[in-house]
Structure 1
Amino acid sequence: MIIVTAKITAKLGEKDNIISKTQDLIDSSRLESGCISYNLYTSTEDKNVLLMLEQWENQDALRLHMQTEHFKTFNTAIKDNLEGEVNISVYSAESIN
């Protein structure tokens, strides 16, 4: 399994705009083959920070996701709302039952 975290820091007053722009991304991504989960969280420590937490079956599923129109559209749509770059981390994990 591949786990992705994307820390999104909004410019002052722009967090709600970013949240509204995530709806299509989240809905469309959850329908993609290989998507296990795709969620957005807000920080309890910093009102301008959001965290996208994604789980994918494998690296190929993630790679295909990053080529989708909804992914590209989202990245373009939020660029003026961001305070700096989105901080993305990718992890490989295996289930231990």
Structure 2
Amino acid sequence: MIIVTATITAKPTKRDEIISKSQDLIKSTRLEPGCISYDLYASIEDENVLIMLEKWENREVLDVHMKTEHFKMFGTVIEEFVAKEISIVIYSAEKV
């Protein structure tokens, strides 16, 4: 299993727009083969920071996800609402 964090920093007053636009992405992604979980969380330290926390069976299914229309569309739709580039970090779920 792998874990992915995608940190999204909204422009001031645009956080709710991103949350709203993410709902279709979340719904569609959860139906993808290999998706274990896919959830959006808000920072308690900075109201403009959101994190998508994802769990996938393996890197191959994640790569397929990143080529889907709903994934690409989300990036395009929120582009005007983000303050900086989305940070994506991929982790091995194996304990170290």
How far off its partner does 1:94 sit? 2.7
Distance 2:14 2:52 in 1: 16
**Matched residue, 1:57:** 57
Counterpart in 1 of 2:30?
Answer: 30
Quote the sequence identity (%).
Answer: 62
Using the size of structure 1 for normalisation, the TM-score is 0.95
Q: Residue 40 of structure 2: SS of its match in structure 1?
A: strand
Matches of 2:64 and 2:94, distance apart in 1: 21
Listed as ranges, the gaps of 5+ residues in structure 1 are: none
Q: Distance in 1 between matches of 2:47 and 2:62?
A: 28
The TM-score, its normalising length taken from structure 2, stands at 0.96
Work out the CA distance in 2 between the residues paired with 1:13 and 1:85: 17
1:1-97 → structure 2 map (5 Å cutoff): 1-94=1-94
Structure 1 CA distance, aligned partners of 2:7 and 2:84? 11
4+ long deviations beyond 2 Å: none
Q: 1:78 deviation in Å? A: 0.4
Give the C-alpha shift of residue 70 in structure 1: 0.3
Aligned residues: 95
Inter-partner Cα distance in structure 2 for 1:67 and 1:86: 16
